[in-house]
Amino acid sequence: MGDIGSAKRKHNSLSIAKKVELLQRLDRGASVRRVSEEFGVGISTIYDVKNQKEQIMKFYAESDVQNEMNKRKTMHKPKIDELDRVMMEWWRQRRSEKILLSGPMVMQQAKIFHAGLEIETPCEYSSGWLTKFKRHYGIRQLKVCGEKASAGHEATESYIDELVKLIADENFLAEQFYNADKTALFWCCIPRKILATAEEMQPADVKDINDRLIVLACANATGTHKCKLMVIGKSQHPRCFKGVRIFSAHYYANKKAWVTRVIFLNWFGKHFVPQVRAHCMAAGLDENCKIFLLRDNCSAHPDAELLVKANVRGIYLPPKITSLVDPMDQGILRSMKCLYKNELTRRLLNAVNRDIGITMFSKDFFEGRHMGSCGCME
């Protein structure tokens, strides 16, 4: 029994390219047994491949990326063949125009075609779909030419205990506890990772506008009150503000587009305190109830003694633990930036489909011509 088991041939699954090579060997007159030994497969497998000769050769000939056939082993068609066909036509057209396409742009365009073709088969067009789409057509990702490691875990545990004691001693409700944190937003940065065929070289001489804004987000612990964003830019009077009367954020400016003590104190007294006091009263709390604002420890922020007004005061996190315990730093700011990026991608894709190049879109967007509700201001 042992000899029989050891004599069994190891299963060998041939790629499409190997099957084509096998068929070519047979066409040149090689015997089935000889080919079986050369490719390490059984004779029955050889006959199976021969029976599929027409389909295999046609599939191989029609492939856009024949070098990828060395990896591919099946001829399975996409789940929604019609959409893939349209997507590849769109892809080839855009790439022939030297348009740089990112993964999110391709997924968004697939959703547009899905709706336009009135396809009944449901599909999420997620990152998993994108991975299969790239693998199927030999598309690869190119890059167009990152606190927590130093965080103190012991200090974190100690501070959490202190914070819990403070909340208990003051008999605080979550409505009264706010957190604010800032993040940098490269609001007009075009995609730096694009999709390309296996034969394409890495693109060069691609410039984008690395204009940065600082966005400060603030909300209470229950999430029932989200304060207006504070946005800091470099220009006192940006072009995109022309004709705008109602702003959806509090805008400040300085040469470095950064938070300063003066700006933070102005925001705290003029905007934050009135907003949170009005919310707590609307929530049924005492009109003079205590309100805390939790902030990260930054030298640009004013001293805690200055952040006191109308029974509202600021408290700071100890150094080196912000990335572990600051609520805004636990994915909230990231989600906000992702939503902005999705909207920017949608507008970029719309421009591309109207034959507006990415460079021109970037320039127009920077000057406010494509802003609309996509910018930080309405």
Task: Give the residue-averaged pLDDT of 205-226.
Answer: 82
pLDDT tens track for 145-201? 545 545 556 677 777 777 778 777 777 788 888 999 999 988 877 777 777 777 777
Residue 365 counted as domain residue: yes
Confidence class of residue 374 from pLDDT cuts 50, 70 and 90?
very low
Q: Which among 22, 51, 70 is the end of a domain?
A: 70
What CATH number is attached to the domain comprising 296? 3.30.420
Chain centroid offset of residue 41 CA: 45
Q: Residue 12 belongs to a domain with what CATH number? A: 1.10.10.10
What pLDDT was estimated at residue 136?
75
Is residue 129 assigned to a domain? yes
Domain for residue 295, yes or no?
yes
- pLDDT (0 to 100) of residue 250: 93
Q: Is residue 41 part of a domain?
A: yes
**Which is more confidently placed, 121 or 111?**
111
Q: Which domain holds residue 107?
A: 81-137
Nearest Cα residue to 248 out of 257, 240, 256: 240
pLDDT of res. 129? 87
Residue 227: pLDDT band by 50, 70, 90 thresholds? very high
The answer to whether residue 14 is domain-embedded is yes
Q: What is the DSSP string of 292-348?
A: EEEE---TTSPPGGGSEETTEEEEEPPTT-HHHH-GGGTTHHHHHHHHHHHHHHHHH
Statement to judge: residues 311 and 364 lie in one domain: yes
Confidence of residue 143 (pLDDT cuts 50, 70, 90): low
Look up the CATH number of the domain holding residue 91: 1.10.10
Query: What residue type is assigned to position 35 of the chain?
Result: V
pLDDT at 64: 55
Give the residue, 321 or 124, on which the prediction is more confident.
124
- 215 strand-pairing partners: 183, 231
Whether residues 107 and 254 fall in one domain: no
Angle of helix 16-27 relative to helix 32-39, nearest 10 degrees, comes to 150
Give the β-pairing of 291-295 and 193-197.
unpaired
- Select the more confidently predicted residue: 277 or 204: 277
Does position 2 have pLDDT exceeding 50, yes or no?
no
Domain boundary among 35, 70, 105: 70
Q: Are residues 122 and 57 in the same domain?
A: no
Q: Are residues 89 and 235 in the same domain?
A: no
The CA–CA distances, whole Å, from 163 to 243, 294, 349 equal 46, 10, 46
The torsion region of residue 207 among left (phi > 0), alpha (psi -120 to 50) and beta comes to beta
Which of 73-77, 120-124, 128-132, 345-349 is least confident? 73-77
Would you say residue 146 lies in a domain?
no
Q: Identify whether 145 is part of a domain.
A: no
55 and 85, same domain (yes or no): no
Q: 232 forms bridges with which residues in the sheet?
A: 214, 252
pLDDT mean across residues, the chain: 80
Determine the Cα angle at 24 with ends 46 and 200, to 5°. Answer: 110
| Residues 157 and 273 grouped into a single domain | yes
Phi and psi torsions of 309, nearest 5°: -165, 130
Report CA 21 to chain centroid distance, whole Å.
Answer: 42
Q: Does 147 map to a domain?
A: no
Q: Are residues 211 and 238 in the same domain?
A: yes
Q: Packing angle between helix 103-116 and helix 332-353, nearest 10 degrees?
A: 60
Looking at the predicted structure, is the pLDDT value of residue 271 above 60? Answer: yes
Which single residue is written with the structure tokens 């790629």?
Answer: 15
Distance CA 263, CA 277 (A): 20
User: Looking at the structure, do residues 91 and 16 belong to the same domain, yes or no?
Assistant: no
Decide if pLDDT at 239 tops 80.
Answer: no
Residue 182, helix vs strand vs coil: strand
Contacts of 263-269 with CB under 8 Å at 24 or more apart are: 263/232, 264/300, 264/301, 264/302, 265/302, 265/306, 265/307, 267/216, 267/230, 268/293, 268/307, 268/309, 268/314, 269/309
Instruction: Please give the average per-residue pLDDT across 109-124, as a whole number.
Output: 88
Looking at the structure, tell me whether residues 219 and 268 fall in a common domain.
Answer: yes
Q: Which range has the worst mean pLDDT, 10-14, 133-137, 272-276?
A: 10-14
- Convert the pLDDT of each residue in 199-210 to its tens digit: 777 666 556 566
Residue 34 and residue 110 in one domain? no
Least confident residue range of 31-35, 183-187, 321-325: 321-325
Same domain, yes or no: 231 and 313: yes
Number of compact structural domains in the chain: 3
Instruction: Between 39 and 318, name the one with better pLDDT.
Output: 39
pLDDT band with cut points at 50, 70 and 90 for residue 109: very high
Residues 6+ apart with CB under 8 A from 53: 23
Do 179 and 86 reside in the same domain of the chain? no
Q: HSE, CB side, 13 Å, CA atoms: give it for residue 95.
A: 19
